[in-house]
């Protein structure tokens, strides 16, 4: 099993959800986060007082998928989230040791 963690532009969330649904991925966890990579922030000025805002709003999408589907999910996700401009975000993939469904103790891929 692989955990796929994608940090994307907030306005791309709907497209990503649709794309994942289209390939049969229904479960995910979404968090509103702030951060930046190479993208520079912007400047705000209030009555002459300047602030540089470099932690920008992003959305983190997390899901765990069977290893066999991992590549397919990543392709769909990155295609949907891409604008081609700096600030599109990143995808990280982790190995998952175990998954357990709390309701009935299903384990492994059966719990996904």
Partner 1 sequence: MSKLLPFVAALAGSCAAQTAAPDKLAALEAAVASAQSSGDNAWMLTSAALVLLMTGPGLALFYGGLVRKKNVLGTMMQSFVLMALVTVIWGVFGYSLAFGEGSPLVGDMRYLMLNGVGMAPNTDYAATIPHQTFMVFQLMFAIITPALITGAFAERMKFSGLLLFMTLWVILVYFPMAHMVWGKGGLLNAFLGGSIPCFDFAGGTVVHITSGVSALVCALYLGKRKGYGSEPMKPHNLVLSFIGACLLWIGWFGFNAGSALGSSGLAASAFVATHFGAAAAALGWLAAEWMHNGKPSVLGGISGSVAGLVAITPASGFVKPMPALLIGLLAGLVCYFMVAVLKQKLGYDDSLDAFGVHGAGGTLGAILTGVFATNEINNALKDSAGKPLPLGLVDGNGGQIINQIIGSAIAWVLAIVGTLIILKICDLVTGLRVDSEQETLGLDLTMHGEEAYNLEA
List the structure tokens of 36: 């930046």
Q: How many residues bind partner 1 (CB under 8 A)?
A: 7
List the structure tokens of 50: 């300047």
Burial (CB count <10 Å: 0-12, 13-18, 19+), residue 40: exposed
Q: How far is the CB of 76 from partner 1 (least distance, A)?
A: 34
Q: Which residues 6+ apart lie within 8 Å of 25 measured at CB? A: 63, 65, 69, 73, 76
Q: Mark 39-78 with x for binding to partner 1 (rule: CB under 8 A) and - for no binding.
A: -----xxxxxx-x---------------------------
Closer by beta carbon to partner 1, 48 or else 84: 48
Closer by beta carbon to partner 1, 42 or else 107: 42
Q: Mark 15-44 with x for binding to partner 1 (rule: CB under 8 A) and - for no binding.
A: -----------------------------x
- Per-residue burial over 42-81, b if 16 or more Cβ lie within 10 Å, else e, is eeeeeeeeeeeeeebebbbbbbbbeeebbeebbebbbebb
Q: How far is the CB of 53 from partner 1 (least distance, A)?
A: 8
Chain residues in the site for partner 1 (CB under 8 A):
44-49, 51
């Amino acid at each position: 099993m692989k955990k796929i963690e994608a940090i994307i532009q907030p306005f791309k969330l709907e497209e990503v959800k649709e794309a994942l649904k289209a390939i049969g991925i229904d479960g995910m966890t979404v968090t509103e986060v702030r951060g930046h990579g190479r993208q520079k922030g912007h400047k705000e000025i209030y009555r002459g007082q300047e602030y540089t805002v470099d932690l920008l709003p992003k959305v983190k999408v997390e899901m765990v998928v069977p290893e066999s589907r991992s590549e397919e999910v990543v392709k769909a996700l990155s295609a949907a989230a891409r604008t081609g401009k700096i600030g599109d975000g990143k995808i990280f993939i982790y190995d998952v040791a175990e998954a357990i469904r709390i309701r009935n103790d299903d384990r492994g891929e059966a719990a996904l």
